[in-house]
Amino acid sequence: MKGSKQKKLSGRWTYFAFTIIPVVLYTFFYVVSVINGVRYSFTNWDGMSKDYDFVGFKNYLLLFKNPYFWNSLKTTLLYSIMLVVGVIITSLILAVSLNSLKWFKTFIKSIYFVPAMIGGITISLIWDQIYYRVLPVIGQKLGIELFSQSLLMTGKTALSAVVFVQIWQAVAMPTVIFIAGLQQIPDEQYESARMDGATAFQRFRYITMPYLLPTVTVNLVLTIKQGFTSFDFPYALTGGGPARATEVIGITIYNDAFKNMRFSVANAEACILFVIVALFSLTQLKLTSKGGVNE
């Protein structure tokens, strides 16, 4: 009895030893950084000098009066909506298609997952050349006016072009999550539905989607976060242009911090972004917490 108790205690110390380092690193690099960011948002710190003064909510009040800040928030919201719709629909279609394959399933999965293993900047540089050198040639040859020049050069198409590139890279992981969810659905459910004469759409609506609701929730939260915190794709492809058409909040924060040397304002913008993402995520979790297969 005593030996069993000592063994159990030793196991707890082993678990503690394996978790203490990640907890310390997370606390130092994330929690402390977030707290400092919030603190600096109430100061006039320029990012360089050691001396700064507390100014209360002055930075936040200035942001609420800044039309460029509101424009970046509007662009970010539109960017996120387009990204979420594109990623969820595309990954769901891919997951259903791949899950129904009988031949070369592993090979095809490995092909579509390749973009997820490439960095965002690298993908952006590749697509930048496609937009500037490949598509215009195709558009001119085929007489398609939309593709006669780079889609990144006009405000009407630049944001959609940037979102398309991120969708192309971002669908891989949600697809894997959807496939995992599809494989948890009992085959007996589909067999019973077929015997009752249910159509393919009815099987998808009343069997597939209720079972997939938890994975939909996970993918929605992850994609919403990606949309609101996007920086590498818009910055590498357009730098926020043309005429601020693709200036998402991440680029605004970067410009205020490292170009305008207004680190306190940038921290205030980051705090507002944090609150927005948290509210969207909590609302989405609340809306999708009901209606699942176990409800």
Positive or negative, the CA dihedral 254, 272, 42, 69 is positive
Q: Where are the domains of the chain?
A: 61-288
Residue 3 has pLDDT above 70, yes or no: no
pLDDT for position 238: 94
CA distance 274 to 59: 16
CB 189 within 8 A of CB 198: no
pLDDT for position 293: 53
Q: What is the mean pLDDT of residues 269-275?
A: 92
Residue 36 has pLDDT above 80, yes or no: yes
Name the token pair of 280: 């969207």
What's the pTM value of the predicted model, to 2 decimals? Answer: 0.85
The alpha helices in 100-208, defined as continuous H runs, are 105-112, 120-129, 135-142, 155-170, 172-182, 187-195, 200-203
| Domain 61-288 -> CATH class | mainly alpha
